[in-house]
Structure 1
Amino acid sequence: MFDVIPVVLPLIVIIVIVMIFLSFVPLGLWISAISAGVRVSIFSLIGMRLRRVRADRIIRPLIKAQKAGMNVNANQLESHLLSGGRVDNVVDALIAAHRANLDLSFERAAAIDLAGRNVFEAVRMSVTPKIIETPWISAVAIDGIEVKVVAKVTVRTNLARLVGGAGEETIIARVGEGIVTTVGSSQSHKSVLENPDLISRTVLSKGLDNGTAYEILSIDIADVDIGRNIGAHLQIQQAEADKQIAQAKAEERRAAAIAKEQEMKAEVEHMKAKVVEAEAEVPLALSEALRSGNLGVMDYYHMQNVQADSSMKNNLGKTDFSSVIAPKTEPSGKA
C-alpha cells in the first residue's frame, strides 16, 4: 500500500493543478479563437480572468471582427467593456458600416456607444433612412383660417454628428416651426391647399438639420385639413370684450348720474331747511317790530289782508273752471 502512495500522490497533484489551470483559462474558448485565426495567448486569457472580465464577451466579438476583416484587437474591446460599453453592439456596427462602405472607426463607434446611443441602429439608419411622422400641426393663415398639417420627414443618421447632436424631438419641433411659419405667411388658406408642396420646399430650405444627429432627406406633406375660423373667433371675442367695456363705462356714468342726483336732492332739502329757518324768524321779527314801535297794529292788519288776498288769488289761479263753464252733454236718448 505504501508503494502506491508515491505514484498516486503526484497524479492527484497534477489533476488539481490542471483543474486550477482550467478554472482560470477557458481552454475551449482559446481553441475556438486559434481555429478562427485570432491570435490570443493563454496569458491574455488568464489576465482577463484576474481582471474579472468575461473572456467570451471579448473573444467572440473579436472572432466576428476578424472574420469580417476588421482591424480590431482584444485590448480595444476589453478597454471598451471595462468602460461600460456594449462590445457586441460596437462590433456589429463596425461590420455593418464596413459592408455599407461607411467611414466609421472603432474610436467613434465606441464614443457613440458610451454616449448612450445605439450605434448599430444608427448605422442601419445611415443605410436605410427612417421616416418620422409629425403629429397634427396647427397653423393659421393671414385670412384667419386654421390649417392642420401632418408631415413625414425622411432622415438618415449623420455619424459625424451623432455624439452631441440633437434627436428626433428636435427634428419634429423644427419641422413644426417651419410649417407654422410657412402657413402663417400665406395670404389665404386656399393657397396652402392648392400647393402643399410649397410647405415642404420652404421648410426643407431652412436647414433644419443643423446641429442634429440626422440629415433630412425630404419633407412630404401627408395630410392637410381645415380647422376653425380663428380670425372670426378672435373678432367675436374682441367685440364681446368691447361690449363689456362699453357696458362698464355706461354703468359707471349711470352711477355717477345717480350720485349727482342724490347730491342735488340733498342740496334742495338743505335749501328748504334754510327757507323754513328763515320763515321761522319772520314772526319773531314782527313781534320785535311791534314791540319796538317800528310796526303799527294797523300796518300789521293791512299786511295780513294783503297776504290773504295773495293767497286767494293763488288758489283761484290753481282752480280748473273748465268743468263749470263747459255745458254738460246729455247722453243720447233711448231708441
Structure 2
Amino acid sequence: MDANTIFLLGAIVVGFIVLSIFFTFVPLGLWISALAAGVKIGIFTLVGMRLRGVIPRRVVAPLVKARKAGLELSTNQLESHYLAGGNVDRVVDALIAAHRANIEIDFKRAAAIDLAGRNVLEAVQMSVNPKVIETPWIAGVALDGIEVKAKARITVRANIDRLVGGAGEETIIARVGEGVVSTIGSADKHKAVLENPDLISTTVLDKGLDAGTAFEMLSIDIADVDIGKNIGAELQTDQAEADKKIAQAKAEERRAMAVASEQEMKARVEEMRAKVTEAEAEVPQAMAEALRSGNIGVMDYMNLQNVMADTGMRESIGKVTQGEDQNDNDDGQQRP
C-alpha cells in the first residue's frame, strides 16, 4: 500500500470523525424540519442550545406545534421555561387547547401554573369539561338525635386565575362536608332531610365554599342519603349509666361512713365500759378504807349489802317475768 492510499484512508477517517462531531452538536435534520414547517430558526441557535444543556428537540417540536396552531411563541420563551424545569410540551398543548376554546391565557401565566406544580393542560381541559368530585359518606346528627349519612357529588370547573395559590380538591371536599354536617344538624327532624335532600345542596351551594380555591363550584348533588344510629338515645343511655355509677359511688361512700361511725361508737362504748369496770374495781377498796377510817359503820355496810341484794333479786324477777310474757305472746301468735 503506497503513501497516497494511506493518506486517503486517513483523510476519510478524519472526515468521518469530524462529520460525526458536527452532526452531534448541529442537529441538521431538526433544522431542516423546522424550516419545512415554516419556523425560522438559525443553525447556530440550535448549537447554542446544545452548549447550554438544552435538548433542541424539546424546544423546536413544541415551537413547530404552536406555530401551526396559530400561536406566536419565541424560542427564548420555550428555552427559558425548559431551563427552569418546566414541561414545555404540556404548556404548549395547554395554550393550544385554550386557544381553541377561546379561553384567555398567555404563555407567562401557563408557565407559572406549570412551575407551581399543577397540570395546566388538565386545568384547561377542566375549564371546558367540568370535573365531578365525589365525597365519602358524611355523617350529621339532626336535632331529634338521629344520625343521617349523605354522599355528595360536586361539579367543579377550574378557575385559571386562581390556580396559582388556590386550594385544591381536598379543601373543596372538607368545606362541603362541613356544610352538609351543619345543614343536617340544623334540621328539626331527620325525616325532613330524607324528604328534601336538595335542601342540603341548596344550603351548601349558597355559602360560597369555593372562595380561595382553584375551582369554581357549579353544583352540588346529593347522590345518596342513609339513616345511621340513634345518637340521642345512646347519649341518654350513657348518661343514665354514668348517673347510676355516680349514685352507687355515693351510696358506697355513705355506707362506708356509717360503718366507720358505728365502729367509732363501739370503741367509745368499750372505752366507757372499761372505765366503769375500773371504777367498780375501786369500790371495795374505798369501802374498806371507809370502814377503817370510821366514815361508815358496820350496820351501814350491812344495809348497803341488803340493798344490793334486793336490787339483784328484783332484776332477776324482772327478767323471768319478761321471758314468760314473751312466751305467752309467741303462743298467742301460734294458737289464736
TM-score range, shorter chain: over 0.9
Q: CA deviation at 1:15?
A: 5.0
Q: Which residue of 1 aligns with 2:202?
A: 201
Q: What is the CA–CA distance in structure 1 between the aligned matches of 2:168 and 2:272, rounded to whole Å?
A: 85
Q: CA deviation at 1:104?
A: 1.1
Q: What is the CA–CA distance in structure 2 between the aligned matches of 1:176 and 1:157, rounded to whole Å?
A: 20
SS at match of 2:85: coil
Q: Percent identity?
A: 67
Q: Which residue of 2 aligns with 1:37?
A: 38
- Trace 1:155-166 onto structure 2 (pairs within 5 A): 155-166=156-167
Q: What is the CA–CA distance in structure 2 between the aligned matches of 1:29 and 1:237, rounded to whole Å?
A: 78
SS at match of 1:319: helix
Q: Rate the CA distance shift 1:263–1:18 in 2: closer, same or farther, 3 A.
A: same
By percentage of residues, which structure has more helix?
2
Q: What one-letter code is carried by the residue in structure 1 that aligns with 2:272?
A: M
TM-score, length-scaled by structure 1: 0.93
Q: CA deviation at 1:303?
A: 1.2
SS at match of 1:166: coil
Q: CA deviation at 1:4?
A: 6.8
Q: Which residue of 1 aligns with 2:260?
A: 259
What is the RMSD computed on CA atoms of the aligned residues? 2.0
Q: Which residue of 1 aligns with 2:214?
A: 213
Q: CA deviation at 1:301?
A: 1.4
Q: Rate the CA distance shift 1:53–1:303 in 2: closer, same or farther, 3 A.
A: same
Q: What one-letter code is carried by the residue in structure 2 that aligns with 1:304?
A: Q
Q: What is the CA–CA distance in structure 1 between the aligned matches of 2:98 and 2:172, rounded to whole Å?
A: 24
- Trace 1:274-289 onto structure 2 (pairs within 5 A): 274-289=275-290
Q: What one-letter code is carried by the residue in structure 2 that aligns with 1:49?
A: R
SS at match of 2:50: helix
Q: Which residue of 1 aligns with 2:249?
A: 248
- Between the two proteins, the alignment pairs up a number of residues equal to 326
Q: CA deviation at 1:12?
A: 6.3
- Trace 1:266-305 onto structure 2 (pairs within 5 A): 266-305=267-306
Q: Rate the CA distance shift 1:265–1:10 in 2: closer, same or farther, 3 A.
A: closer
Q: Deviations over 1:52-81 (max 9, x none)?
A: 211111111111101001111111111011
Q: What is the CA–CA distance in structure 2 between the aligned matches of 1:311 and 1:7, rounded to whole Å?
A: 160
Q: Which residue of 2 aligns with 1:82?
A: 83
Q: Rate the CA distance shift 1:56–1:312 in 2: closer, same or farther, 3 A.
A: same
5+ residue gaps in structure 2?
332-336
Q: What is the CA–CA distance in structure 2 between the aligned matches of 1:317 and 1:19, rounded to whole Å?
A: 142
5+ residue gaps in structure 1?
330-335
Q: What one-letter code is carried by the residue in structure 1 that aligns with 2:265?
A: M
Matched, 1:97 2:98: yes
Q: What is the CA–CA distance in structure 2 between the aligned matches of 1:118 and 1:3, rounded to whole Å?
A: 63
Q: Which residue of 1 aligns with 2:56?
A: 55
SS at match of 2:149: strand
Q: Rate the CA distance shift 1:263–1:13 in 2: closer, same or farther, 3 A.
A: closer
